[in-house]
């Protein structure tokens, strides 16, 4: 029997398995979905947690299948009949949806395809003498497979371990529960994960001590805006022609924003108009211009592109207004143990006097560390050592081909080895959220079904 092993049962792995069960290869096929976390189908983002974190994309944007755009809204209505497409729903509910659609696809699958769920960590992927793959497992026997798909998600954040720092926690979102309102806190990072932390810290115990949040620019994410009616009607051809340099692109986006404002719209509409074209823009930029984009434009792109659910933004603003949340543009010069506490020395952006802060907890919200050579993950280490995966030269993720084929250092596809997930962004830029990932995984499912 033909075996497809999917390493990682988060959104990408579970949705790929669902797509393959719905549209399987012609020959008898076994899909083996392997996940090291307790539950298969949720991944890091959509796990069940004590605190009801919400999605940062409205329900209407979260269907896992681009051909069935309202699938998630319809699922959510089976639990809460009053759900509207614009609602920002709990992330755990989204995990329920992923698990339920996988189970339904399994029930409805034709006889010649089967799903096997394995709860284990894959510790190695090696080429076998017969030309297939052998997967080493943390528990149980090795697995033989014809095709391996790495759906292993994002790398972990860089370590800032010190004292009672929460950065080594296996699940930051759960571990934050130990921080009480009397504890002063320093959060490193001011993007979406920081907003998660702040809302949790505020919700579960009355906050008396300050929260300090820092990042290089000190930017806070914007909220999603209410729909403006008609989408912005930009000139996609002109946008794509402007993609030769980062500077020309930035200029063009500014001119579109002015145009949108004149038409009674705003930058939200311009970002929404651009989003489907971003992969083409990114792929058209030469490497030197991608580098320029990363250095000069990226903080502004990230700020406008990654937005907060309105209720989360209100909570963050409320804390700032009450003087309990201080957001600064600064970098950490040092973190040192200070009795039972941690003393941080901060250097403000643009110079100025250093500032010392003494806190009870430091929470690392810096996001994934895409410098894969720093990875402490067993499987990633083995794949790098044996040159089965290649980090991209700009440290954004993995080098991959058009359907997620894993490429070697010479740019040649390694037969029968694929990756799907956020590290596709090296090649596509936009690949971290569901609206883009679902397209990548449908394309990969089509390739695997036809292989
Ligand atoms: C907290 C958070 C909230 C988010 N919210 C949204 C949102 O609201 N909307 C949105 O569109 N996007 C959101 N995202 C983006 C998110 O990256 C994608 O939506 C998507 O969940 C990525 O799924 P994935 O399966 O590729 O990665 P992951 O969810 O990271 O799943 C990878 C899985 O692989 C497993 N794994 C890794 N290595 C091994 C191994 N060696 N052996 C076995 N198992 C392994 C991991 O345990 C994990 O479960 C969020 C991300 C985070 C972190």
Domain chopping of the chain, boundaries: 2-156+369-450, 172-222+307-364, 236-305
Cβ–ligand 1 distance for 433 under 6 Å, the answer yes
Q: What is the largest CA-CA distance in the chain?
A: 70
Whole-angstrom CA distances from 65 to 98, 102, 339, 440 are 11, 12, 52, 11
Structurally, at CATH architecture level, domain 2-156+369-450 sits in 3-Layer(bba) Sandwich (3.50)
Residue bearing tokens 């399994």:
106
The residue with tokens 């980090």 is: 391
For residue 39 and ligand 1, the question of a CB distance below 6 A is answered with no
Inter-residue contact 414 to 380 (CB < 8 Å): no
CB 274 within 8 A of CB 253: yes
For residue 247, the model assigns a pLDDT of 92
> Which CATH architecture is the domain 172-222+307-364 placed in?
3-Layer(bba) Sandwich (3.50)
The finding on whether 10 has its CB within 6 A of some atom of ligand 1 is yes
The CA 276 to ligand 1 mean position distance, Å, reads 21
Terminal Cα-to-Cα distance of the chain (whole angstroms): 14
Starting at the earlier edge strand, list the strands of the sheet with 185-188: 355-359, 341-348, 325-338, 211-215, 185-188, 361-364
Q: Is 379 in the pocket of ligand 1 (CB under 6 A)?
A: yes
Residue 93 confidence (pLDDT): 97
Take residue 179 and report the two structure tokens written for it: 């921080």
Q: How far is the CA of 433 from the centre of ligand 1 (A)?
A: 9
Pairing of strands 361-364, 185-188: parallel
Index of the ligand 1 atom closest to the CA of residue 8:
34
Q: How far is the CA of 36 from the centre of ligand 1 (A)?
A: 12
Mutate to test the pocket of ligand 1, among 61, 76, 153, 431 (most ligand atoms within 8 A of CB): 153
Q: What is the pLDDT along the chain (451 residues), one digit of tens a residue?
A: 999 999 999 999 999 999 999 999 999 999 999 999 999 999 999 998 888 899 999 999 999 999 999 999 999 999 999 999 999 999 999 999 999 999 999 999 999 999 999 999 999 999 999 999 999 999 999 999 999 999 999 998 887 765 445 554 457 888 888 888 899 999 999 999 999 999 988 887 788 999 999 999 999 999 887 665 778 888 889 888 887 899 999 999 999 999 999 998 888 889 989 999 999 999 999 999 999 999 999 999 998 889 999 999 999 999 999 999 999 999 998 888 888 889 999 999 988 899 999 999 899 899 899 999 889 899 999 999 999 999 999 999 999 999 999 999 999 999 999 999 999 999 999 999 999 999 999 999 999 999 8
For residue 130, the tally of other CB atoms under 10 A from its CB is: 9
Q: Is 155 in the pocket of ligand 1 (CB under 6 A)?
A: no
Topology alike, domains 2-156+369-450 and 172-222+307-364: yes
Q: Determine the atom of ligand 1 nearest the C-alpha atom of 55.
A: 8
Confidence (pLDDT) at 168: 44
Q: Find residue 188's DSSP bridge partners.
A: 214, 364
| Distance set, CA 130 to CA 91, 370, 398 (Å) | 42, 33, 27
325 in contact with ligand 1, CB cutoff 6 A? no
Closest CA to 185 of 364, 451, 397, 353: 364
């Amino acid at each position: 029997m033909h075996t497809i092993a999917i390493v990682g049962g988060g959104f990408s792995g579970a949705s790929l398995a669902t797509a393959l069960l719905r549209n399987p290869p012609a020959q008898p096929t076994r899909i083996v979905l392997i996940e090291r976390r307790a539950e298969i189908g949720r991944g890091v983002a959509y796990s069940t947690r004590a605190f009801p974190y919400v999605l940062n994309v409205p329900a209407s944007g979260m269907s896992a299948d681009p051909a069935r755009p309202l699938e998630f809204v319809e699922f959510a209505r089976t639990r809460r009949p009053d759900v509207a497409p614009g609602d920002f729903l709990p992330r755990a509910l989204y995990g329920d949806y992923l698990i339920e659609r996988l189970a339904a696809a399994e029930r409805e699958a034709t006889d010649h395809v089967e799903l096997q769920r394995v709860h284990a960590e894959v510790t190695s992927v090696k080429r076998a003498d017969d030309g297939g793959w052998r997967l080493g497992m943390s528990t149980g026997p090795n697995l033989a497979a014809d095709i391996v798909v790495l759906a292993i998600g994002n790398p972990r954040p860089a370590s800032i371990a010190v004292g009672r720092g929460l950065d080594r926690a296996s699940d930051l979102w759960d571990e934050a529960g130990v921080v009480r309102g009397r504890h002063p806190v320093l959060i490193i990072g001011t993007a979406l994960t920081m907003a998660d932390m702040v809302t949790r810290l505020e919700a579960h115990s009355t906050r008396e001590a300050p929260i300090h949040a820092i990042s290089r620019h000190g930017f806070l994410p914007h909220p999603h805006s209410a729909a403006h009616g008609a989408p912005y009607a930009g000139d996609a051809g002109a946008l794509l022609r402007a993609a030769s340099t980062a500077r020309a692109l930035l200029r063009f986006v500014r001119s579109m924003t002015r145009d949108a404002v004149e038409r009674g719209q705003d930058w939200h509409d311009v970002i929404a108009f651009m989003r489907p074209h971003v992969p083409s823009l990114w792929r058209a930029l030469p490497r030197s211009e991608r580098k320029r984009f990363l250095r000069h434009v990226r903080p502004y792109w990230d700020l406008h592109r990654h937005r907060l659910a309105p209720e989360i933004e209100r909570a963050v603003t409320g804390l700032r207004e009450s003087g309990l949340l201080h957001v600064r543009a600064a970098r950490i010069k040092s973190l040192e143990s200070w009795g039972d506490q941690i003393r941080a020395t901060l250097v403000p952006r643009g110079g100025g006097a250093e500032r010392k802060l003494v806190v009870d907890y430091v929470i690392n919200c810096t996001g994934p560390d895409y410098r894969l050579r720093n990875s402490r993950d067993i499987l990633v280490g083995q794949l790098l050592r044996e040159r089965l995966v290649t980090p991209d030269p700009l440290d954004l993720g993995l080098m991959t081909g058009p359907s997620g084929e894993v490429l070697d250092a010479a740019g040649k596809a390694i037969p029968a080895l694929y990756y799907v997930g956020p590290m596709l962004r090296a090649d596509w830029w936009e690949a971290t959220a569901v609206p883009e990932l679902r397209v990548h995984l449908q394309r990969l499912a089509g390739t695997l079904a036809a292989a």
